[in-house]
Amino acid sequence: MADPYRGDEICGNRKIKVFLYIWESLRPKEWTKNLVIFAGVLFSQNLFNLPYLFKVFLAFITFCLLSGSVYIFNDLRDVEEDKNHPFKSNRPLASDRLQTSHALLALVIFLPLALGFSYYLNSTFFLITLGYLLLQVAYSFILKYIVILDVFTISCGFLLRVIAGAVVINVEISSWFLLCTTLISLFLGLSKRRHELVMLEEEAQNHRKVLGKYSPYLLDQMISAVTASTILAYALYTMSEETIAKFGTKNLIFTIPYILYGIFRYLYLIHQKGSGGNPGHILLNDKPLFIDILLWVITVVIILYG
């Protein structure tokens, strides 16, 4: 006799798989980029102010939903190109594991939810998230095809995250720190372009047209300039009169070695290990870099709060 629940069981398994594929399309591993939202509460010395911390956590969740929606939108738009990419072809949409209708439904649910939640938290925060969304749409249709400006757009996305984390709790963040954020995000963006160019070789331009306007030598020159600028800007930030007056200590200078090691480790991974295409993946999988960043955070907390 046939099992009367067999059909329901198959249907249930299918729904679970669809949910898992949607979750994968949101790219939760990329959400490590959104952790910079906590910079505002950390450097405003409100890390242990629980109402502030909770509000920033909600802002983090909002940006995770928002950035995840952008990833689904890009996957829908570039699905045919992704099918011919050595790595992107494994994504749920490109591999035909996730139907277009299900991806569209997820986008229709998550995007309004993220925007509505951002408006609930703070009207200024809402404007920042809306600006971030418009920037990503402009990047998908126009900016990613314009050499150099494509990398600046990636950097601007990081900068908006840091600003969003500050405005959601109405605190100021140092212009020095914003400069450091801009430079380190440029470093990551240029490293990503270099990784794509080297990995895809002759096929690079076919997968991303703007890569045809770059060369490894040009990108190495840009990375060198940004690397030096990042280290110098952070060192000046720790020693500036504004910083010392704000925190009442000169000890932030002792966090410079962590920044040096982190940048040098990343350069090592780019040139010796062929990494650099996915900062979030590197952070989660490279233990020395993860430990370095963790120690930097712990040291900053001790200096600013101890």
Q: What is the DSSP letter of 240?
A: -
Mean pLDDT, residues 125-143 taken together = 95
At 174 the pLDDT is 87
pLDDT tens digit sequence for 169-191: 999 888 999 999 999 999 999 99
Share of the chain above pLDDT 90, in %: 74
Is this prediction's pTM over 0.85? yes
Least confident residue range of 100-104, 129-133, 249-253, 276-280 = 276-280
Residue 218 has pLDDT above 60, yes or no: yes
Q: What sections of the chain are H helices per DSSP? A: 6-25, 39-43, 50-77, 79-82, 100-121, 123-141, 149-167, 175-200, 204-207, 216-239, 241-247, 256-272, 279-285, 287-305
* Averaged pLDDT for residues 256-283: 88
- At residue 204, the pLDDT reads 67
Q: Quote the pLDDT of residue 12.
A: 64
CB-CB contact of 150 with 185 (8 Å): no
- Residue 248 Rama label (left phi>0; alpha psi -120 to 50; beta): left
Per-residue model confidence (pLDDT) at position 11: 61
Q: Check whether 200 has a pLDDT greater than 90.
A: no
For residues 168 and 51, the answer to whether their CB atoms sit within 8 Å is: no
pLDDT of 215: 92
Q: What is the pLDDT of residue 5?
A: 39
Non-local CB neighbours of 286 within 8 Å, separated by 6+ positions:
265, 269, 275
Query: Is the model's pLDDT at 99 over the cut of 70?
Result: yes
| Percent of the residues in the chain that have a pLDDT greater than 70, as a whole number | 94
Q: Does residue 83 contact residue 92 with C-beta atoms inside 8 Å?
A: no
